[in-house]
A and B are shown apart, each in its own frame.
Chain A
Amino acid sequence: MLRQRLIQLVLLVVAGVALTGAAMLSGPIESHRKRLKLVTVTSSESIAKEPRTILLQIAPGGLRAPLLSYLWIRSQELKQDGKLYDAKQLRDLICDLTPHFPGVWAFHAWDMAWNISAATHTPEERWMWVTNGIRLLRDRGLYYNPDDLGLHRELGWIYFSKMGQYTDEMHMVYKRRWAGLIHNVLGAPPFSDTAGAAVKSFSLIAEAPRDLDSLVADKSTADFVERLNRLGIDPDSGFLEYYNRFSEDLSVSPPGWIAQKPAGKREEQIADLMRSDEFAAARAAVLAFARRKTLVEKFRLDPDWMLEVMKRYGPMDWRNVNSHAIYWSTRGLHRAEGLDLGKINALNTGRTFLGALKSLTRTGLFYLTHNPKNPDEPFLDWQADWRFVESTHREYLAAERILVTDKSGKVGKIDSENNKLRGGHITYLSNAVQQMYVGGRKDLARYYYDEIKNVLKAKGDVYELSLYDFVREKRRQTGPPTVEMTRALMSGAFRSAYRALAGGNNTEYLRHRAFAMRVYRTYMRDTAGAKQRLAPEAFNQMEQDFLETMLTNPRAIGLNVPLAVKAQLYNTLSPQKQQAIYPVIAGPLKQQCINEDQDENFFNKAFPAPPE
């Protein structure tokens, strides 16, 4: 008995010594791991937030490696057998077992977004797998590895290539659904010729209070929040949902003819709060707070960095996936290497950054129309946004300067052989020149044409031609336009056509509209005929979208159209066109009449309802 007690005592002492030793070692090990950047989340934070992950790392002990091998094999087998139900579960488990190994997160996110999504056949499934990949990287991979450049790049690449480009037959599903998601948070950005209005609007969100206490420090805001709370609404995404439904903010709410009416007394009270002038200032403060909170907590975006990006590169519309590609690729360099935007360029960000910036030039202006049958997938149309030409040109030049600078720091000639970006730069500017010229912005077209000749030193007979002949010759040389070029040329032609029509010049109108039609037909015949996924909307639909924008939000397409000119244009349209656009334009134009101190009679006379 005594012997057994003695053994127990000795073993207890051994256990105590072992535990004490382990406890003493854990401190130095932890600091060593931190120094080597192996730990990015503290143990206590991990245990609090992700106890399952901690348990999974410890519980299997020495069996973790064989377990991982089995899970990898099983997950690949399941994928090949089309049994996707378990794929996400297993991938999550694999990542949980190796949370600080960025390659594992990157591989699984890529596999879900690119391979598994391609094995499915419905838009819902495709979207689900692409967003599963995004969420895995953004919400979990970057939580454990916040300073990993590769994960940021992979995330940026999914936005740019998978969602932003045209290789996937369901690329429009991704573009539309993403635009819808962000539209519900931020709404449509305001438009101005420069980035100013969009930046100013977004800075309200970036500068919004960080926490609820700061928000309710103001008495009137506290009162408004209190009223919201009484109706069961917190100042977060729940507030945004009701704001989008009931407010009179045209940048977010659906048009009146499809807007849902308040259901019940509670919703009526909410609707009153969302419209009341009394709470306008408090509502704006809560709106900015809720938007910021949703961006940070749901989308893991840093509004301060978003604002920095907008200030440097242009008025990004965050509903456009290319904006997010730029955000994540620059954010990665900032987190991993501490670089600010001044030191980030097209060379250290890979293809994503410059590609996305160029895509923004071609697709930057988004028009979203509510889709009553599928609110998650609004109708989407877009046009070129020339406000990004200057920043893209500048980024090209910055990168080119680095390429032609030798080891001693001497800057060489821009047309030297080392400048591998020059060809792409010239092509990009040439396309921009054509679009601007067709769109009636000859001043801008001439400026960039001169840049091609004088700064980039482009060589060839075509660059000796006048601007008009250059555009004609380039169009002839290029052959069938790409989908983005088609849209850009068409929107430019519509712009010129309807400006001419508003000014009473029917001949010019017909000439430009015929050009738009020719571009469309050529594209449909040569490209879209073979590739259905690249087909744009019907010509009439695109024209209708353009007209609606020109009459309700002309600044979005770089025009300033007074109310009288709008009325003149509206009344020159055919009854069929009037019938098509009237339901959308009536509300905003009536509001504009009121804003300009006109009564409803004026509206009815200026914009008479079309015949039935």
Chain B
Amino acid sequence: MRNVWAVTRETFLQCVRTRIILVFSVILAVCVLYVGFRIEGDGTLKGRIQTFLAYSTSLTQLLLCLVTIFLTIGVVTGDISRKYIFTVASKPLTRWQYVLGRWSGVMLLTGLLLVMSFGAIYLFARHIRRAQTRVEMAAKPGLVKTETVDPDRLAVEHEVFAARATFQPDPLDIESAFKERMNRLIDETGLDNLIRGQIRHRLQPPPLDSKAPPPPPLDEKKVEKLLHNPALRKQMMEEIAFNLRNQILESRQLVGPGRATTLTYSGLKPEPPDGPPLQIRYKLKPFQSYTSTLKSAWRIINTDPDSGFSQIEFRSDSTQTTSSFMVDPRTITSDGRLTVKYINLLDPKAMATVRIQPEDIVVLQRVGGFEGNFIRAGMLILLRLMFLAAAAVLFGVFLSFPIACLSCMIIFVLSVMSGFIQEATKLPVHSGPPSIFEYFSHYLVVGVNAVLPALEGTATTDSLVDGANIPWKAVLNEYLMAFRPAQADSNVLWRMFGVKIVLGTGLRTFLALGIGWLIFRKRELAGIT
């Protein structure tokens, strides 16, 4: 390890001496200061802090990513192009020690820069936090009562300088309705007819275009043959059950005008009466309607028999836009449940059925402080830098400086935009069979995503800005790997195991370093001509 440390130290000092680090440090400092002093947000103190956090962390991230790429490639390709590598290779230093040392040297420097810039951002955010809100500015003696609730200050303390966990509603209990509907379906249609219909549907799905010519008649013999295949029967029954559950669920999610739905949230932490407020965040989507405003009433009830505490909110919201309101902590039951009743108010001008999906109404509760969250966000950003440095080493050991930079930039852009690219190259569902190009682009992106981590440009920043908790588990998953239950659309391998393994960015980093070492090990440094 002494050898690795020697290379690390040398790399660190070499990087510190380069002009590029000075230029980037100055740009970084100017950006953070400019954002801190100039950006106003939407006019509220909360908005100003959120905008500052969003812009300063994004800019820091971007600049550090770029500096990591250029610095690492510069160091590694410089060694080879300027023949310094000969003096290194003549030392008792193995190639993996060189690769690891170069990588860790750059990481030491960029990590230091990250700590410094995040420290500055944190101090600046705290400084802005002390600024006065509009209500506080107007609170001259005798004008505004001092006990007046200041929503802006409340939002700053409980929505920004906080780490809040997000709770989705408990799944609706549809099993009894499902059994009843399934039994009725079998009684009315007959089991064989039901499966036969599903086989027909699979063999010949209904045309998407109603004007399309009718398809040729089905081969009924084939249908009958498949009907008696036990494995297929089981599969068809699973499909029928899946569709039926979805139908029941969708019908339960629709709330007509004047009607209500009750959602329950479990696993919350009971709070004392003066504890931090909860927040309900929702987005109302009208179902088959073009209404632009929806009126609603919300009743949040503590169902403990000895409590009976409830809160009522009347709201008028733009559709498809996320809104939120604060909820008294006394609404949580002693066993950590929260009951929310949503009422779609009758409005003669806007009669619309509303579709409520689980992710549309969430409850946020404070579970930790801003500082811890800020550190975890920093750790995630550091991980990105680690991966990019590893990729830079990987390309630097066998490509020239410009080509390696280009390759690394492509990887950087693809990783940052992975979500968008995946969405853009999805196979079309509603516009006929996919073309060859669509298949090609889809599977190309699937392949690329299997190798590259999803760095998701603004995800970490969004969590910080929203005061959304970044759990240690998520950080660990990102450093190592995550195990997720296999979904219906997962590939065969994951479905077989019932679990999907998602490789973390940390492991991908060491994979990239390993590949870099393998290439470098085989590389002939001094070609004999």
With A373-B144, A376-B138 as contacts: A82 and B42 at CB distance below 8 Å = no
Question: Which of A3-11, A118-126, A245-253, A412-420 lines the interface with chain B?
Answer: A118-126
> Closest residue of chain B to A128, judged by CB?
B43
Fill in one digit per residue for B38-53: 1 if any A CB lies within 8 Å of its CB, else 0: 0111111011101100
Complexed CA–CA distance, A448 and B328 (Å): 59
Which of B43, B142, B151, B317 is in CB contact (< 8 Å) with A88? B43
- In the docked arrangement, what's the CA distance between A374 and B142, Å? 10
Q: Could you say which residues of chain B place their CB within 8 Å of the CB of A86? A: 41-42, 50-51, 54
> Given the complex, which residues of B lie within 8 Å of A118, measured CB to CB?
293, 318
**Is A84's CB under 8 angstroms from B47's CB?**
yes
- The answer to whether the Cβ of A81 comes within 8 Å of any Cβ in the partner chain is yes
Measured in the bound complex, the distance between the Cα atoms of B295 and A465 in whole Å is 46
- Residues of chain B with a CB closer than 8 A to A82's CB: 281, 283, 321-324
Number of interface residues of B (CB under 8 A): 35
Chain B residues within 8 Å of A423, by CB: none
Q: A85-B50, A89-B51, A373-B145 are in contact. Are A119 and B44 (CB under 8 A)?
A: no
For A130-156 the 0/1 string (1 means CB < 8 A from B) is 001000000000000000000000000
Which chain B residues in 453-470 approach chain A with CB under 8 Å? Answer: 465-466
| A124: chain B residues within 8 A (beta carbon) | 134, 151
* Number of interface residues, chain A, beta carbon within 8 A: 27
Provide the residues of chain A in CB contact with B151, threshold 8 Å: 122, 124
Is the CB of A87 closer than 8 A to any CB of chain B?
yes
Given A86-B54, A373-B145, answer yes or no on A80-B41 (Cβ-Cβ < 8 Å).
Answer: no
Q: Kindly identify which residue among B41, B50, B134, B321 contacts A79, using a CB–CB cutoff of 8 Å.
A: B321
How far is B19's CA from A185's CA once the two chains are assembled, in angstroms?
A: 55
Judge if A375 is at the interface, Cβ distance under 8 Å: yes
A51 contacts across to B, CB distance below 8 A: none
Q: Is the CB of A85 within 8 A of B46?
A: yes
User: Could you list 5 further interchain pairs (A-B, Cβ under 8 angstroms) beyond the known A128-B43, A132-B43?
Assistant: A84-B47, A85-B44, A86-B54, A128-B44, A374-B143
A121 CA to B282 CA, complexed, in Å: 14
B315 within 8 A of A: yes
Q: Contact: A121 with B46, CB < 8 Å?
A: no
What are some 20 contacts across the A-B interface (CB < 8 A)? A79-B321, A82-B281, A82-B322, A82-B323, A82-B324, A85-B41, A85-B44, A85-B46, A85-B50, A85-B465, A89-B39, A115-B318, A118-B318, A121-B325, A129-B42, A373-B144, A374-B138, A374-B143, A375-B138, A375-B143
A169 interface residue per 8 A CB criterion: yes
Q: Which residue in chain A gives the minimum CB-CB distance to B318? A: A119
Tell whether, in the assembled complex, residue B51 and residue A85 are in contact, meaning their CB atoms are under 8 Å apart. Answer: yes
Asked whether, in the complex, the Cβ of B41 is within 8 Å of the Cβ of A121, the reply is: no
Chain B residues closer than 8 Å to A129, beta-carbon distance: 42
A55 and B178 alpha carbons, distance in the complex (Å): 63
Q: Is A16 an interface residue (CB 8 A)?
A: no
Instruction: Indicate if the CB atoms of B42 and A85 lie closer than 8 Å.
Output: yes
Nearest Cβ on chain A to B389's Cβ, whole angstroms: 26
Instruction: State whether the Cβ of A372 lies closer than 8 Å to any Cβ in chain B.
Output: yes
Known: A86-B50, A86-B51, A376-B138. A80 touches B42 (CB 8 A): no
Task: Report the minimal beta-carbon distance from A114 to chain B, rounded to whole angstroms.
Answer: 10
* Mask of A377-391 contacts with B, CB within 8 angstroms, 1/0: 000000000000000
Assess the B143–A372 pair: CB atoms within 8 A. Answer: yes
Flag if A374 contacts B318 (CB, 8 Å). no
Is B44 a contact of A125 with CB atoms below 8 Å?
Answer: yes
B246 at the interface (CB under 8 A from A): no
Q: How far is the CB of B129 from chain A (nearest CB, A)?
A: 14
List residues 278-306 of chain B with CB under 8 A from any CB of chain A.
Answer: 281, 283, 293
Interface centre among B144, B320, B322, B465 (most CB of A within 10 A): B322
